[in-house]
Amino acid sequence: MFFLDINPLVLPDVGLVFWSTVAFVVLLFVLGKFAWKPIMKAIDEREQGIEDALSKAEKMKAEITQMASENEALLQKAREERATMVKEAKETADKMVAEAKDKAKGEYDRIVADAQAAITQQKNAALTEVKNQVGALVIEVSEKILRRELSNKTEQESYIKELASGVTLN
């Protein structure tokens, strides 16, 4: 009784419900037969594409992390090589400076030795020259003494003194 009071516009007719159900079943059959498989295939493909993209993204992320690690290792190796090269360059420069100092000291020692040898040679030459002059003077004095025959020893000594005072050394 409660149903009898309802407006006929609100209650569907039994025929309408039947045909609506038949149309829905036919539509469901047609969609199931022709559309459902392609829709599901497209959804599966889309899902697979998303999974592939995610796995590629994960692989890329792993590769980027690996590359970053490799880059850091390369940077560290480059820093070590640079430090080694700087150290070797410093050692080479120090070695070159030490060699130059040793060479300069050797050259200095050689020049000093040459100068000392030259000084010694000149000294010896001067001594030889003095000896030669003294010898020549002795010979000259002896000659003069021998030329003059003196019988008196006192005269002889005074003559020698006179000759010696008259001789000038260069």
pTM value is 0.39
Domain assignment present for 18: yes
pLDDT at 108 (0 to 100): 93
Please tell me the total count of domains within the chain.
1
Per-residue pLDDT at 17 exceeds 70 = yes
Best-predicted range by mean pLDDT (3-7, 55-59, 143-147): 55-59
Q: What digits encode the pLDDT tens for the residues 19-44? A: 999 999 999 898 888 888 888 899 99
Domain assignment present for 1: no
For residue 32, what are the domain limits? 9-166
Query: How far apart are alpha carbons 75 and 69 in whole angstroms?
Result: 10
